[in-house]
């Protein structure tokens, strides 16, 4: 569910502190991603033994393996498909490419996934810029730690307010369309646990890493995810 992604975004740590003449900066997104992958992991294949019968079996997956699985949950980028249409500020259209294993290894890449938005309001711009400009100093300005802003929570809120329709997505076998036509029926583009084509379903799906080891996961539902 979207709450799981919100929890991941809150876990991103971006902070800095003075250490003598040097400044130490920490930017950690991987810890939260690994925790997300562990929460959604249902089973693995190709590993020896029956350790999956144990309560804490997920903790025995090596950091390198679970780290690679976590990266796949986040693998999305601006689309490389040809976008020749001129930019329309009154009907903003964004295209994404995403990697999402779902059983057929030849169809794991989804290209040109479209999101359409109404124009950003002045208030939404203010919220976005304010979120990025806010930081907190803990322990004093000279030797304290500066906790820098992470804007993902605000971006999620603005996304839900502006999105009008998507193209190339389905949940539970139903194609997502737009507000009033989505399977969730609550005005959000995708706010259900979902299953079926192009998503990790309740039955689970997953991918393979080095050596052909398989990891089966349920999908953390998220607005716009394939």
For 124-146, the pLDDT digits (tens) are 999 999 988 888 888 876 778 88
pTM of the full structure: 0.65
pLDDT at 186: 39
pLDDT at 198: 28
For 13-25, the pLDDT digits (tens) are 888 888 877 888 8
What dihedral angle (degrees, nearest 10) is formed by the CA atoms of 60, 63, 64, 70? 100
Residues 11 and 29: their CA atoms lie apart, in Å, by 7
pLDDT exceeds 70 at position 203: no
Coil, strand or helix: which one is 208?
strand
Q: Binning pLDDT at 50, 70 and 90, where does residue 210 land?
A: very low
Q: Which helix (H) or strand (E) holds 117?
A: strand 109-117
């Amino acid at each position: 569910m979207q709450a799981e992604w919100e929890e991941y975004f809150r876990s991103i740590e971006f902070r800095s502190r003075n250490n003598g003449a040097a400044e130490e900066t920490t930017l950690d997104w991987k810890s939260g991603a690994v925790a997300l992958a562990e929460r959604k992991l249902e089973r693995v294949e190709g590993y020896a033994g029956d350790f999956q019968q144990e309560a804490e079996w997920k903790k025995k997956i090596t950091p390198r393996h679970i780290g690679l699985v976590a990266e796949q949950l986040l693998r999305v980028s601006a689309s490389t498909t040809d976008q020749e249409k001129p930019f329309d500020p009154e009907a903003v259209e964004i295209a994404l490419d995403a990697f999402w294993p779902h059983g057929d290894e030849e169809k794991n890449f989804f290209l040109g996934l479209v999101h359409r938005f109404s124009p950003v309001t002045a208030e939404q711009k203010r919220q976005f810029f304010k979120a990025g400009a806010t930081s907190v100093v803990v322990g004093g300005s000279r030797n304290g730690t500066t906790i820098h802003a992470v804007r993902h929570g605000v971006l999620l809120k603005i996304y839900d307010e502006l999105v009008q329709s998507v193209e190339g997505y389905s949940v539970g076998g139903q194609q997502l369309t737009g507000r009033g036509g989505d399977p969730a029926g609550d005005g959000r583009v995708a706010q259900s646990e979902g299953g079926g084509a192009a998503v990790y379903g309740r039955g689970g799906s997953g991918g393979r890493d080095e050596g052909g080891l398989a990891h089966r996961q349920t999908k953390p539902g998220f607005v716009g995810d394939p």
